Amino acid sequence: MGAHRKLRVIFIAAAVLFLPLAGCGSNASHETPAPTGGPTAGVLRLVETDQPDNLNPLIASQPIALELSYLTYSFFFDVDDRSRLVPDVALEVPTVPNGGISPDGKTITYHLRKGVRWQDGQPLTSRDVVFTYHAIVNPRNNVQGLLGYEDIADVVAPDDYTVVVHMKRVDSPIVTLFMCLDGDYPILPAHLLATYPDLNHAAYNDKPIGSGPFSVVDWVRGDHITFAANPDYWRGPPKLDKIVVSFVGSNAQIVDRLRSGQADAWFNSDPTLYPELTQLGGIGVTIAPDNNFGHLDFNLRDPLLQDVRVRRAIELAIDRRKIVEEATHDVYQTTDSDQPFTSWAYDRRVPHPAYDPNAATALLRSAGWHRGPDGVLANGKGRIELQLAFLEGNSLDKQVADILKGDLAAVGIQIDERPYPEERFLSSLQSGGVVYNGRYQLAMFEWGVGLDPDDSWLYACDQQPPQGENSTFWCDPKVDAAERGARATFDVATRRSDYAVIQSEIADQVPMIFLYAQRRADVYSTRLVGFRPAPTFAYWNAWRWEMR
């Protein structure tokens, strides 16, 4: 999934009437076949199983939509392979010392790069940034997750190349949220979209005009998207002529295409196939850090799971080392935190229990659960039979689910596996999604923190759906206070202390179990030059890639 954090949901709204945008009509009239033959100089052929529902990240559903937005759109900053902010449309990262952030932390000033143009030739200016901000906070748009944006009082443009953000209160993650990767939303063109009351069904969403290094040539749903080099990109024309992203039905099909020479790359590949991928001729596999983590969520609205002893026992009963070794071939790593090991917020002092099924059995017994004749725990009122929801068709999730099922059966907990298609599993509350409506007991999927360690979108009481991603429905006063404190200052030492409190409380209360820390296994042709894997997305420097 790789994703970034909030882009795991699908937004569906009531139908609205709209007029077609100039230059943004149906993609059907420009369909071209995806290349299926051998390699071609200047053309990179990527293969994916995940597909976007539309190409406007403000209202897109699947993680791949945000990933591909790096090709088409511009952000204030990119994030490079060393997790550093690299100026894109904004000339400089604002700080208190350089005057970009006011002494009270409530005014942030951005100076924009001149010469950035939309792919129809219009200049990108501060008007576009102000428009995008208003589109994000427009309640008519099906945007889910306004973290950071709700703390903004106003965004103004004193001139065409200056943007001033006035905050209601200090919010330290805002620098990596506002028009930046952590916030999921790039800059949109005001001259094409400003007349619409909402963007939910605009034709633009199928064939956007951006300001990034590549433009969308065509999108044949269910088959492929073709991106062509933008000759007017501000950094200079990309070295690739085209990038074609093809969509197939299974990871096995991806391997077949790589083996036969019909595909050139598979980014963030399936770790269950790692041994096979390393044997492909003319193909390299690079293991790199990633900010995502796999987790098992408890629905704390479920009466059985409200008992922390049950949650702690389940954690003790799961062999996470086995998950990493057997399911991911050690591509992934064990972890006990949502914070990456490389983050200054990661606290190594927080104690975490080791795999101990005997201790799990004793804890369940103390909570009144005893094995029945069928070997399943019961307490006179019912049995511990839990449904485990996860993504359908994901081989890693299936393998992990099987391991969890076996581990928990050993302590008397019966697991019923419930795989769901992503558009149902992780769709929004408004569209009846399983996770965000709490229609699960246990749910397994992946999240990722961003460049900033802020995780209030995942744990704060006011971030339960549809306001945010707190789909465990956990509300802890200590965590809430620490989340507020961490966001209310730019002082790293204070923030580090707050995140230590959060990690300690998660370890104690167990609203979720961290199954593994993800690492990227990027698979690509030895003919691809310039690719540098990053802990965020693969496409951050795509304008430099070459196929020789």
Position 537 scores a pLDDT of 81
pLDDT single digits (tens) 136-187: 999 999 886 687 898 999 999 999 999 999 999 999 999 999 999 888 899 9
Same domain for 378 and 421: yes
Q: What's the CA gap between 229 and 214, in Å, rounded?
A: 5
The pLDDT assigned to 37 comes to 65
E-strand stretches of 282-323: 283-298
Characterize 275-300 residue by residue with b for buried, 16 or more Cβ atoms within 10 angstroms of its Cβ, and e for exposed.
Answer: eebeeeeebebeeebbbbbbbbbbbb
Rounded to whole angstroms, the Cα distance separating 69 from 214 reads 10
Contact 395, 272 (CB under 8 A): yes
Task: Indicate whether 539 and 515 sit together in one domain.
Answer: no
H/E stretch holding 251 reads helix 251-260
Task: Look at residue 15 and tell me if it is in a domain.
Answer: no
Question: What is each CA distance from 359 to 2, 292, 314, 525, in whole angstroms?
Answer: 34, 29, 10, 48
Considering the domain boundaries, does residue 322 fall inside one? yes
pLDDT at 24: 37
Kindly report the CATH number assigned to the domain that includes residue 351. Answer: 3.10.105.10
**pLDDT for position 498:** 98
Euclidean distance between CA atoms 429 and 491, whole angstroms: 36
Looking at the fold, whether 320 and 241 belong to one and the same domain comes out as no
Q: Are residues 513 and 536 located together in one domain of the fold?
A: no
Partners of 224 in the β-ladder: 220, 246
- What pLDDT does residue 35 have? 55
Give yes or no: residues 353 and 432 share one domain. yes
**Domain span at residue 215?**
27-264+527-547
Residue 314 tokens read as: 């389940």
pLDDT for residue 5: 39
- pLDDT at position 144: 65
pLDDT higher than 50, residue 1: no
pTM value is: 0.84
Alpha-carbon span 414 to 274, nearest angstrom: 31
- Asked whether residue 259 falls in the same domain as residue 378, the answer is no
206 and 313 fall within a common domain: no
Whether residues 93 and 113 fall in one domain: yes
Compute the distance between CA of residue 408 and CA of residue 317 in angstroms, rounded to an integer. 6
Mind listing the pLDDT tens digit for each residue in 453-479?
999 999 999 999 988 889 999 999 999
User: Same domain, yes or no, for 456 and 487?
Assistant: yes
Whether 381 maps to a domain, the answer reads yes
Using one digit for the tens of pLDDT, what is the confidence trace for 90-131?
999 999 999 999 999 999 999 999 999 999 999 999 999 999
Is it the case that residue 45 has pLDDT exceeding 80? yes
315 with 254, same domain: the answer is no
pLDDT at position 50 is 87
In a shared domain, residues 293 and 253: no
Q: Are residues 245 and 303 in the same domain?
A: no
CATH number at residue 139: 3.40.190.10
449 occurs within a structural domain: yes
Q: Is residue 7 part of a domain?
A: no
User: Is the pLDDT score of 26 beyond 80?
Assistant: no
Are the C-beta atoms of 96 and 104 separated by less than 8 Å?
no
* Residue 36: per-residue pLDDT: 57
Rounded to whole angstroms, the Cα distance separating 185 from 190 reads 14
Is 274 within a domain?
A: no
Is 19 inside a domain boundary?
no
Does a structural domain hold residue 408?
A: yes
Angle ∠(284,55,91) on CA atoms, nearest 5:
80
Number of domains observed in the structure of the chain = 2
